Structure 1
Amino acid sequence: MTHIVQEIYRGWEITIQCTSVQSSPSRPPNYTAVASAELLPHENPADWVDSRMQVLNTSGRPFASGNACTAALLFEARQLIDALKK
Structure 2
Amino acid sequence: MFSLYTDFWKNIFNFNKKDSDAELGVSLIFNVIILAVLYFVGLLLAPPVMENTLVVVITFLALIMAIRTLFELVRVFKK
The TM-score normalised by the length of structure 2 is 0.34
Greater relative contact order structure (CA < 8 Å, 6+ sep): 2
* Bigger fraction of residues in helix: 2
* Bigger fraction of residues in strand: 1
The TM-score normalised by the length of structure 1 is 0.31
